[in-house]
Chains A and B, each alone.
Chain A
């Protein structure tokens, strides 16, 4: 369970990682629906999320240049904990209906409809067919 400060910090991080874009018609990762999904989805990264949030106490109350400076430090460290936070935010963002549509995907799981894959040009194999045996006889 996050404290109010931790929740605000996480939302700030989500906003700074993935802001909204009018050009691509997508919300930010701090969008209400996406953020609610993030809060439900810490999974095996719960301890990583908590590590980062504990290190960033009071982050949401900093002014923007200070927040940017702290995030730059965080990214520089490339910690396992930050990887966990990145993963949680990204896995919720890139399954949002609006984001998937913006990427040209249907907002659905792979099963049961699946996808089409073209056969491709099998004549590309012709030169390989002409090669002599590669394996060693024993």
Chain B
């Protein structure tokens, strides 16, 4: 018997797939989500076992190439100084993200108008603001109202604790007269909607065993499934098929037993982020690519990591990584030698193994007799920050299909070609210099930095950009493909520019915005 068509088929259950599924559920349409990974079991997250740090370097590593679970696919990122980080499972990248949850700024949507670079978005901050608010309620945000770096908004929970590390860094920032504020975090500082408050496990980036961090498997998905959405795991989509009218007719995927299946659908929504979405479109015989832009304009955020060591003991292995941020250098100032800007996000410290492994890698921790004395001067005495630099879109930074590399189902794997721009290099240099000033002002006796951070490809954006011009964009201003009128994209690939902040909150706000557009246009959706 042929498989019955569904009304809406969503590919990917991460940040955006979960949000769009939940929002569309109120239509009572038959909604199916196909996820190549599986449900996570919080009781089995690394922080529950004595090998918690070892597992972060193995089956919970953020690189799919090192993690290499059977639910992952390989990525050829040899031609990129920044390596891709992701996770495949219900919740997607939110399972491993830190939960830093900044919004974009009004200026981030108008970079061409304000700074003469890249392109303006076809939507603005005011358009997304109600969707930011709705998403905040679903995810649960800790923070503090009144940040002068942002338009007013109200986090619903108290900020995460400042701690010894945050207070030390804040004193340094105050000496310099620079901005800082408690980070907006998708981590519950209080019990919230059935989720227990953060108990400072200091292991947010390997899955939160407490459930305090807002990964979508514990936020949107329970609500979406209660509302009737079907979520099918271990189903890897190979391609989207087209009918004779040029409309998407469904997808071909491999089920949990590795059997090829066809699932017909009236509407297909891609939610696989900028690598996965581009890969599926490119594997679908050039679907939705009359602009030639599918896979192009890949943006990471070039990161710098800067750390300092102090005489006094700091938070070390205690507390969530999230703490405070600074946007002193966020908005464009031409005197700095680059356009756009960056955010500093400050971290607390390190767990014992990572303190040893990283300190040895950077030449601070020796072999031999002096090992123990040196370690005790490092462990719990380090804090620092990352700088998240805005990456501008360039067409030569792109995702293609690797001619040889394939996943376990024989599907061609993505290949990344990416180079760092001169603007990004200047921004990174500026960030390292300013960060070093902060750490010295805070009392650090030793400072180290790495820029760009080689393994910092957490944020994936731009490979199916949105816009009103079908020749310069892949989807329109409400997420529908210009070419295929029942195909939508809701993930980071539709970003026009990257801003200088973590993208998840904006990805989810966009997904809710696209879902609302679908709901309000149901009668004329394919016109």
Contacts and interface: CB of A to CB of B under 8 A. Distances in A.
Given A24-B372, A135-B105, A135-B151, 4 more contacts: A91-B353, A117-B315, A125-B180, A125-B182
Interface stretch (A1-9, A53-61, A126-134): A126-134
B164 A87 contact: no
A136 B105 contact: yes
A44 B199 CA distance: 30
Contacts of A117: 161, 163, 200, 315, 318-319, 348
Interface string A97-118: 0001001010111111111111
Given A114-B200, A114-B210, A118-B161, A105 B357 contact: no
Contact of B164 (A107, A118, A127): A118
Contact of A116 (B144, B318, B357): B318
B318 A121 contact: no
B257 interface: no
Contacts of B107: 135-136, 138
Contacts of B57: 43-45, 87, 91
B361 A115 contact: no
Interface residues of A, number: 55
19 contacts: A17-B371, A18-B371, A19-B368, A19-B369, A43-B58, A44-B58, A44-B61, A87-B357, A91-B357, A94-B353, A100-B352, A109-B49, A109-B52, A110-B202, A111-B199, A115-B317, A121-B167, A128-B180, A134-B330
A69 to B, nearest CB: 13
Contacts of A43: 54, 57-58
Contacts of A128: 148, 174, 179-181
Contacts of A121: 162, 167
Contacts of B179: 128, 131, 134
A78 B54 CA distance: 21
Given A16-B367, A138-B125, A109 B50 contact: yes
Contacts of A112: 48, 199, 209-210
A86 interface: yes
Nearest to A131: B148
A120 B47 contact: no
Interface in B159-214: 161-164, 166-167, 170-171, 174, 177, 179-182, 199-203, 209-210
B130 interface: no
A37 to B, nearest CB: 9
A115 B360 contact: no
Interface in B55-83: 57-58, 61, 66-68
A117 B58 CA distance: 28
B163 A111 contact: no
B114 A136 contact: yes
B109 A111 contact: no
A138 B58 contact: no
Contacts of A131: 148, 179
Contacts of A118: 161-164
Nearest to B162: A120
Nearest to A40: B51
Contacts of A62: none
Contacts of B109: 138
Interface in B351-379: 352-353, 355-357, 360-361, 367-369, 371-372, 376, 379
A127 B174 contact: yes
B317 A105 contact: yes
A138 B170 CA distance: 30
Nearest to A74: B367
B39 interface: no
Nearest to B146: A129
Interface string A69-101: 001000100000001001100111111000010
A68 to B, nearest CB: 9
A71 B200 contact: no
B29 interface: no
Interface of B: 45, 47-54, 57-58, 61, 66-68, 105-107, 109-110, 113-114, 124-125, 144, 146, 148-151, 161-164, 166-167, 170-171, 174, 177, 179-182, 199-203, 209-210, 315, 317-319, 327-328, 330-331, 348, 352-353, 355-357, 360-361, 367-369, 371-372, 376, 379
A110 B105 CA distance: 36
Contact of B200 (A95, A115, A136): A115
A114 B199 contact: yes
A66 to B, nearest CB: 16
A137 interface: yes
Given A17-B371, A136-B331, A138-B106, A115 B319 contact: yes
A24 B376 contact: yes
4 smallest A-B Cβ distances: which pairs?
A: A120-B162, A114-B199, A115-B318, A110-B201
Contacts of A107: 50
B105 A124 contact: no
Contacts of B149: 134-135
A137 to B, nearest CB: 6
B352 A135 contact: no
A100 B355 CA distance: 13
A26 interface: yes
Given A43-B54, A115-B201, A117-B163, A135 B357 contact: no
Given A90-B360, A95-B353, A71 B148 contact: no
A121 B200 CA distance: 18
B47 A122 contact: no
Contacts of A120: 161-164, 166-167, 170
Contacts of A111: 45, 47-48, 199, 201, 203, 209-210
Nearest to A114: B199
A100 B177 CA distance: 39
Given A86-B357, A109-B49, A125 B170 contact: yes
